[in-house]
Chain A
Amino acid sequence: AQSVAQPEDQVNVAEGNPLTVKCTYSVSGNPYLFWYVQYPNRGLQFLLKYITGDNLVKGSYGFEAEFNKSQTSFHLKKPSALVSDSALYFCAVRESRGSTLGRLYFGRGTQLTVWP
């Protein structure tokens, strides 16, 4: 069965420092991987996705993520954190075969706090 794990409930980082939000996945075939961000009182916003191709994908707001097939990971990164990056981040996965409905499986979320 497909699943996503975000091992850290909370990540704290100082503004200007690099940040990493971790995600590991489990699927039976090739994965399609996504990161979403949720700001307070808002819906989820799409940040980036890995479907195929380069393992390093770039997304919105200066975020990037690295797909590592051998470690089944898709960690979200940013070279220099901003206070405005503080939000709840969700990793999601979908299988590349089987059902074609586009169903996503979400992790439990990681609360990122960037302090000034």
Chain B
Amino acid sequence: DADVTQTPRNRITKTGKRIMLECSQTKGHDRMYWYRQDPGLGLRLIYYSFDVKDINKGEISDGYSVSRQAQAKFSLSLESAIPNQTALYFCATSDWDRGRPGGYYEQYFGPGTRLTVT
């Protein structure tokens, strides 16, 4: 989706290095998410953010940190990369409307960042 962009698209790094993955969106959504995808495991939530001041851990946050620099930007950092963090990483966004059934709109995903830690 061109509305959600991720940089870089591919990255190879060495064990112990710090790396940042960036996500930007032009959809004007408040909610942003970081997932990782591993073959046979589906998508697992790393961190999510309701707005600039609200950041929450997902199910697999250990070894990761995030920064919500603005409504449109949500970055994921690996402070000291390790090989089992090799995966495909996706950023997603969604809108929210308390008056809507479920209050919830579908999530829109970026194209992904393929990260390899050697």
Which positions in A face B, CB cutoff 8 Å?
Answer: 4, 9, 32, 34, 36, 41-46, 49, 51-52, 90, 94, 96, 100-104, 106-109
Contacts and interface: CB of A to CB of B under 8 A. Distances in A.
Interface of B: 1, 4, 31, 40-45, 48, 50, 56, 58, 90, 92, 94, 96, 101-112
Nearest to A43: B109
B110 A43 contact: yes
B50 A52 contact: no
A49 B106 contact: yes
18 contacts: A34-B106, A41-B111, A42-B111, A43-B1, A43-B4, A43-B90, A43-B112, A44-B90, A46-B107, A90-B43, A94-B102, A94-B104, A101-B31, A102-B94, A103-B45, A103-B48, A106-B43, A109-B40
B42 A102 contact: no
Contacts of B50: 101
